[in-house]
Structure 1
Amino acid sequence: MKIEHLSLTNFRNYARLEFSPPADRPVVLVGDNAQGKTSALEAIFYLATSTSPYTTSDRQLIHWRTENDPIPFARLSAEIGGANGAYHKLDITLMLDMTAGAARFKKAIKLNNVDKRVMDVVGMLNVVLFLPRDLSLVEGSPSDRRRFMDGTLRQVDIDYLLALNEYDKILPQRNALLKRIAERRASPVELEFWDEQLAASGAIIIAGRQRFLRELEVKARVTHLALTGGRETLSLKYLPSILTVAEGGGRQLSFDVIGLDLDRQLSAEAIKPQFLERLLAQRREAIGRGIT
Structure 2
Amino acid sequence: MTPPSRTGVVETESARLVYDVAGEGEAVVLVHSGIADRRMWDPQFSTLAEHYRTVRYDMQGFGDSAFVAEGTDRGDLVAFTGALGIPQAHLVGSSFGASVALDAALEHPELVRSLTLVGPTVGGHDYEGTGPEWKAVLDRYEASVEAFEAGAYREAAEHEAALWVVGPGRETEAVDADLLERIVEMDDRALRMEAAGRRREDASVLDPPAADRLSSLSIPVHVVVGAYDLPSVGEAAGLLVERAPDAQLSVVDDAAHLPNLERPEAVTDLLLEFWASVAEGTT
Tell me the TM-score range normalised by the shorter chain: under 0.3
TM-score normalised by L of structure 1:
0.22
Q: Which has the higher contact order (CA 8 A, sep 6+)?
A: 2
